[in-house]
Structure 1
Amino acid sequence: MTLQNLVILFLILTVVSALSNYLFLIWTRTLGMKNLTPTESERWSHSYKPAIGGISFYIIFLVSYLVCLFYNNPELSSIDESVHQGVLIVVTLGFFAGLADDAFNTIPWLKLGAQIMCGMVLLFFGIQIEFFELVWADALLTVFWTVAVMNSINMLDNMDGITATVSVFILTAACTAPLAPENLFYTCICGGTVAALVGFLIFNWHPSRIFMGDTGSQMLGALLASIGVLFFWNNENIIIEHTWWSKMVIVATAFIVPIADSMTVTINRIKRGQSPFVGGKDHTTHHLSYAGLSDSKVAIVIALISAISSAFIVFISLLQPEQRSSYFIFLGIYSFLILVLLYGTTVWPKAKSVFHLKSTPTT
């Protein structure tokens, strides 16, 4: 498959995604709407909108997968079949777990069980983080990573355009030529998913008309967890050989927004004596809004952080191995500063005062 064919496929899938979501909006106004009262809703928006965007994600992911699998290209014959089959099964499992949650409001433990199962499936198909010298420790880290990413992406889906935008840049960095394997299989499925997200963002950018729902966030989380292992944790084309810290730096840079948001929410809720597993309006994105940014500007800020992070990763991948050390130190400092800045929005006096004002029940 040539680059020209990939570009054509991307454009076609973007149009298909936009049309699919438009048709979903016409055909249904209630599918995916959970039975929540305004006070119980954990979303930033108080209006009810169909949470069906994730359906188009999965459809277009499958189309991309099948096109790559059956395309008459000798490069595809070298793919480790068990690996890409594992990715397909994990994404499918994440999709149906999210679909069940959107349809039936499943209990949190059931969702957690599905996420753990996704991690176990990755292990079964040989997709495992290579970090420790002990196989069992790497296996535990892989399962933890899968659960953490799926939850982080799910938690990040709290304002218009945020999760889709962040996912676009992570996948774009992953499918960039220097990071991709010699074949174009993963470039194709990542690019196809990006096309699905771009078409979805037409309707999800503020003011949104559609949500991705748990169907979309769990499916994306499963895909990003898999891609994270293959392209960031274990990618010898970008890390510094035999250095554990370079893996942590590259992963932190690629996933800086979901990592910062999850860590911030978890730390603050524990400090307040609350469960970190219950939804709320105390995310970093919310605090950027409390600080005075409009919803659209919050999405733009998050998009800029994600775009810069992805650009840094691509830049590092273009360097010779002996040139990377100093730049990895810079990436580590950059990721730490972004983490501090996003956490700082939750302790900035103006943001805190507005947050507490909005959190106080009226009488």
Structure 2
Amino acid sequence: MTIFAFFVVSICLSILICGILLKFSKNLGIRNYQDYIIRWSAQTKPSLGGISFYIVFLFSLIFYAIIFGEDDVFRNSKLLGLLTAGSLAFLLGLADDAYNTRPLLKLGAQVVTGLILVYTGTYLPVSNILWIDTIFTVIWVVGVMNSINMLDNMDGISSVTAIGILLASSFGYFWIHNQTASIWLILNFSVIGALIGFLYYNWNPSKMFMGDAGSMFLGLYLAFTAVDSLWNIGVHYENHRWLGMLVALVAFTPAAADTFTVVINRLKRGQSPMVGGKDHTTHHLVYKGLKDKQVGIFFLVISVLSAGIAATMIYLISASQLVYASLLALYFPLVFGYLFYTTKKYKQKD
């Protein structure tokens, strides 16, 4: 009941915040009126919707502290690390929306957010050697933040992908801790509520975009919760670290498949993977003949399916059915193979 209350309030709060931003900030968050190279839509719209994610996150923390006491919030090193790193990611995105920050500065700030998570106790369980785990954690955080940012190229895509990941993460938290009112589950469903509220304005045809402030914070949050609830599944049950990696990969299927496809294709063309363009899997599905809204529905379906398969893998791992859990991981290469094939068959259009 507590989670449901936070969830509903978060939806309403997100709709209210986005509505206010849309009404009073028509010309904010739009950096280049004539730059249509990266954005799929040729119509300029405010890129401020992601601000609601951060505000809802802060309000959820505050109300949780009021209702359940401050100890779970202000004496929780992991949570304080998430708050600090998330705030830095949000400010980084906000600066990028306003001033187009330099790529090296942006990368440096992303590395710092990863180091903050490690310092406060959140890191990938790749080995028993801290410096190795630190390197992999920073790579993971930077990769997820940029992946979500890159996927924010068409109405609703990043939001539905993030919702699927958070559903898988929430199942992982529930299955490990069996606590329906834990701070982590409440935060997850609060962010899901914020995303649903934002989708009211971002679903095709959209009225506003997420912006880098939203995608940077969201990417950081997803990177954190995936480490805490998905990557650690293998260690928690069987001490097989690779199982947690497979669960996370399946949960991130839409984002990972798009990122890998874009990076591979751009490197083959001799282009930088970090430069925007209309060569994402979402774009190629349109080149194939789908409407923008149909692409959104397609990614919604595979995101929910990814969450369901990841949750099933968690259950199988907890039941020591490791072979069956591993076989379900074949879902990722199947989706990746299909999307990658789509980009080979249909050439990019300017």
Distance 1:235 1:327 in 2: 15
Map 1:47-126; keep pairs closer than 5 Å. 47-72=43-68, 77=72, 81-126=76-121
Find the residue that maps to 2:134 and give its secondary structure: helix
Q: CA deviation at 1:322?
A: 4.0
Contact 2:316 2:325 in 1 (8 A): no
Is residue 262 of structure 1 aligned with residue 259 of structure 2? yes
Deviations 1:220-253 (A, max 9, x none): 011011111101111358x751323312211110
Q: In terms of mean alpha carbon deviation, does 17-26 or 90-99 score higher?
A: 17-26
Q: CA deviation at 1:9?
A: 2.1
Paired residue for 2:130? 135
Q: CA deviation at 1:79?
A: 9.3
Distance 2:261 2:182 in 1: 37
Paired residue for 2:218? 220
Distance 2:192 2:136 in 1: 27
Q: CA deviation at 1:339?
A: 1.2
Question: How many percent of aligned residue pairs carry the same amino acid?
Answer: 40
TM-score normalised over the length of structure 1: 0.91
Q: Which runs of 5+ in 1 are unaligned?
A: none
Distance 1:37 1:252 in 2: 37
Distance 1:78 1:121 in 2: 17
Aligned-residue CA RMSD (Å): 1.9
Find the residue that maps to 1:123 and give its secondary structure: helix
Find the residue that maps to 1:30 and give its secondary structure: coil
Paired residue for 2:24? 27
Is residue 244 of structure 1 aligned with residue 241 of structure 2? yes
1:5 alignment partner AA: T
Q: Which runs of 4+ in 1 moved over 6 A?
A: none
Q: CA deviation at 1:63?
A: 0.7
Q: CA deviation at 1:175?
A: 1.8
Paired residue for 2:231? 233
Q: CA deviation at 1:118?
A: 0.4
Q: In terms of mean alpha carbon deviation, does 182-191 or 313-322 score higher?
A: 313-322
Is residue 285 of structure 1 aligned with residue 282 of structure 2? yes
> Of 201, 204, 207, which aligns to 1:206?
204
Deviations 1:183-216 (A, max 9, x none): 6100011111111100000000001000010010
Distance 1:322 1:6 in 2: 27
Is residue 300 of structure 1 aligned with residue 287 of structure 2? no
Contact 1:240 1:325 in 2 (8 A): no
> Of 156, 160, 164, which aligns to 1:161?
156
Contact 1:98 1:213 in 2 (8 A): yes
Deviations 1:99-144 (A, max 9, x none): 0000111111111111001011011111111112322111100000
Q: CA deviation at 1:181?
A: 6.5
Distance 1:346 1:122 in 2: 36
Deviations 1:135-187 (A, max 9, x none): 21111000000100000000000000000111111112212322556461000
Distance 2:301 2:253 in 1: 12
- TM-aligned CA distance change 1:179 to 1:303, over 3 Å: farther
Find the residue that maps to 1:346 and give its secondary structure: helix
Q: In terms of mean alpha carbon deviation, does 64-73 or 194-203 score higher?
A: 64-73
Contact 2:234 2:243 in 1 (8 A): no
- TM-aligned CA distance change 1:69 to 1:301, over 3 Å: same
Find the residue that maps to 2:175 and give its secondary structure: coil
1:193 alignment partner AA: V
Map 1:175-186; keep pairs closer than 5 Å. 175-176=170-171, 177-179=174-176, 182=179, 184-186=182-184
> Of 313, 316, 331, which aligns to 2:313?
316
Distance 2:307 2:183 in 1: 20
- TM-aligned CA distance change 1:122 to 1:67, over 3 Å: same
Distance 2:109 2:160 in 1: 25
Distance 2:339 2:321 in 1: 27
Q: CA deviation at 1:342?
A: 1.4
1:49 alignment partner AA: K
TM-score normalised over the length of structure 2: 0.94
Distance 2:321 2:32 in 1: 51
1:203 alignment partner AA: Y
